[in-house]
């Protein structure tokens, strides 16, 4: 799959997961696109076609330029001109950090730059050995930073209550999209970042070399050795460091007061040791990016993507030792449809206290179990029931309804249910909600929790 199609799909998934009220992507719009795409259901590029059509209709309806949102965080080389200019200017100015005309042979900007690049080359050469047992977590770190930024932005936006709801939705969708994208294309993003760093290293080196010549043209520029050690040691070390360059240029080590010769030697060394290897690394990285950007494979079998097709999502709802009324069922069914897509029929079954699942339970359906939080969770009853469930099913979703609890009871009862459920189904499948509240806020809260934990 092409990168732009993959980005578009992930962005509209992110927008769908954050736009629970259908402000930008109402269900009617999705239904229109689904019907329009029906002839292409069996095509391998169905989801790419679906999102292109969805983008066209939504952009026309809301006057939104969606590419500005899903093409962010792409580390494109062409958009990094300012970084390259800053790197060049830093390199240019590094030669003017001292007012004295004499420069230390080993402690000058170019020698420091050479040392840094040698360290980078060694790291790249031996990274397979050094980091064989360790994996760096750039994506996880990025997720933490993004989530931290999101929390700060949400608090900051409380000061601007008149902010457009569409703008807030698009901002949140963009942040969530970046998370999804880094998770899906971490290698591609890392390669693009490496490309930018190589470009900045080249610009920095060019700036240092340009600064050498500019300072040499307009003021006295001498190279000398300031130390208690004999300068012959330094010259011997220099012959080793600059040996390949001297061999290629058929030159010899300059003397201390030969400023122009040192500048030419440093410039030739910069080309040989930095610019040439960096250009080779840059070319290799570009080839890697080209390959990665054409082979992005998304997991389109996730439950979320079923709502973009005419497929039905198989769900089975089980309430344990209490009955959900029609309003509860309506809210829960609507929320589950928002998360898992359209369902032909939601199977509902009430299980009595101490009872068990029927033997005819359909294993192809996603089981959703509802418990009444007003009941005290007991290992001998609820725990035994959950244990029997996990013997028959690989996983399940558990919703605990606290609508029948008072405000004072909620915290203590939540801890009891949390303690019980984390031993059986894990907290990732545990949802604490009030099914009596049918307002949009509660609906969105439950839907958002289902999104985050199941997708």
pLDDT digit string (tens) for 74-106? 666 666 778 888 888 888 887 766 555 666 666
- Percent over 70 (pLDDT), the chain: 71
| Residue 313: pLDDT over 70 | no
Instruction: Write down the pLDDT at residue 335.
Output: 75
Percent with pLDDT over 90 in the chain: 4
Kindly state the average pLDDT of the residues 185-209.
Answer: 86
Q: Cα dihedral sign for 218, 272, 277, 108? A: negative
pLDDT value of residue 135: 45
Q: Is the pLDDT of residue 113 over 80?
A: yes
Give the separation between CA 303 and CA 390, rounded to whole angstroms.
21
Predicted pLDDT at 178: 84
Provide the residue count of the chain: 455
Q: Which domains does the chain have, with CATH numbers?
A: 3-74 (no CATH), 78-293 (no CATH), 312-454 (3.40.50)
In the structure, what pLDDT confidence band is assigned to residue 279 with cuts at 50, 70 and 90?
A: very high
pLDDT confidence of 56, banded at 50, 70, 90? very high
| Residue 37: per-residue pLDDT | 87
Interval 213-224 mean pLDDT: 68
Residues 106/236, Cβ–Cβ less than 8 Å: no
Q: Is the pLDDT of residue 441 over 50?
A: no
Flag whether pLDDT at 319 surpasses 80: yes
CB atoms within 10 A of CB 15: 24
The string of pLDDT tens digits covering residues 151-177 is 555 555 544 444 567 888 888 888 888
- Gap between the terminal Cα atoms of the chain: 20
Q: Is the pLDDT of residue 4 over 70?
A: yes
Residues 39-52 have a mean pLDDT of 87
Does residue 307 register a pLDDT over 70?
Answer: yes
pLDDT given for residue 52 in this prediction: 92
Q: Which two tokens stand for residue 448?
A: 């958002």
Burial level of 436, CB count in 10 A (0-12/13-18/19+)? middle
Helical segments of 158-185, H only: 165-184
Please give the average per-residue pLDDT across 198-209, as a whole number.
Answer: 89
Q: What is the pLDDT of residues 337-374, one digit of tens each?
A: 766 666 656 677 888 888 877 766 566 677 888 888 88
Mean pLDDT of the chain: 76
Whole-number pLDDT of residue 162: 47
Q: Which helix (H) or strand (E) holds 69?
A: helix 67-70
DSSP state of 349: E
Task: Tell me the per-residue pLDDT of 265-277, one tens digit each, with 9 for 90 and over.
Answer: 888 888 888 899 8
User: Do residues 282 and 202 make contact, with C-beta atoms less than 8 angstroms apart?
Assistant: yes
The pLDDT assigned to 53 comes to: 92
Instruction: Residue 96: name the closest of 256, 197, 217 by CA.
Output: 217
């Amino acid at each position: 799959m092409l990168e732009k199609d993959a980005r578009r799909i992930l962005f509209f998934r992110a927008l769908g997961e954050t736009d629970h009220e259908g402000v930008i992507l109402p269900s009617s719009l999705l239904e229109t696109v689904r019907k329009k795409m029906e002839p292409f259901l069996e095509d391998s590029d169905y989801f790419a076609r679906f999102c292109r059509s969805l983008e066209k209709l939504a952009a026309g309806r809301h006057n939104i330029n969606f590419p500005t949102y899903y093409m962010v965080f792409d580390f494109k080389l062409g958009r990094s001109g300012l970084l390259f200019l800053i790197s060049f200017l830093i390199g240019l100015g590094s030669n003017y950090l001292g007012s004295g005309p004499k420069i230390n042979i080993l402690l000058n900007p170019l020698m420091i730059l050479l040392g840094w690049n040698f360290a980078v080359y060694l790291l790249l050469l031996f990274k397979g050995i050094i980091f064989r047992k360790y994996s760096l977590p750039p994506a996880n770190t990025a997720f933490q930073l993004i989530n931290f930024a999101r929390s700060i932005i949400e608090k900051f936006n409380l000061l601007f209550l008149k902010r457009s709801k569409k703008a807030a939705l698009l901002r949140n969708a963009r942040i969530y999209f970046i998370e999804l994208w880094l998770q899906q294309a971490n290698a591609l993003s890392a390669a693009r970042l490496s490309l930018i760093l190589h470009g900045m290293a080249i610009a920095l080196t060019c700036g240092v070399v340009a600064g050498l010549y500019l300072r040499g043209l307009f003021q006295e520029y001498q190279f000398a050795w300031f130390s208690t050690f004999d300068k012959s040691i330094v010259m011997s070390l220099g012959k080793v460091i600059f040996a390949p360059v001297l061999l290629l240029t058929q030159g010899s080590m300059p003397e201390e007061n030969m400023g122009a010769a040192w500048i030419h030697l440093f410039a030739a060394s910069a080309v040989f040791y930095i610019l040439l290897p960096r250009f080779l690394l840059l070319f290799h990285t570009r080839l890697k990016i080209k390959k990665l950007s054409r082979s992005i494979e998304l997991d389109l079998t996730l439950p979320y993507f079923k709502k973009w097709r005419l497929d039905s999502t198989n769900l089975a709802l089980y309430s344990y030792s209490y009955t959900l009324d029609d309003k509860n069922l309506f809210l829960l069914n609507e929320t589950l449809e928002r998360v898992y897509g359209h369902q032909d029929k939601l199977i509902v079954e009430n299980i009595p206290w101490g009872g068990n699942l029927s033997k005819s339970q359909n294993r192809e359906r996603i089981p959703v179990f509802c418990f009444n939080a007003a009941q005290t969770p007991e290992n001998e009853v609820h725990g035994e029931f959950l244990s029997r469930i996990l013997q028959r099913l690989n996983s399940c979703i558990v919703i605990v309804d606290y609508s029948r609890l008072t405000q004072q009871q909620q915290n203590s009862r939540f801890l009891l249910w949390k303690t019980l459920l984390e031993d059986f189904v894990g907290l990732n499948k545990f949802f604490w909600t009030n099914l009596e509240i049918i307002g949009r806020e509660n609906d969105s809260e439950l839907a958002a929790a289902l999104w985050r934990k199941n997708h």
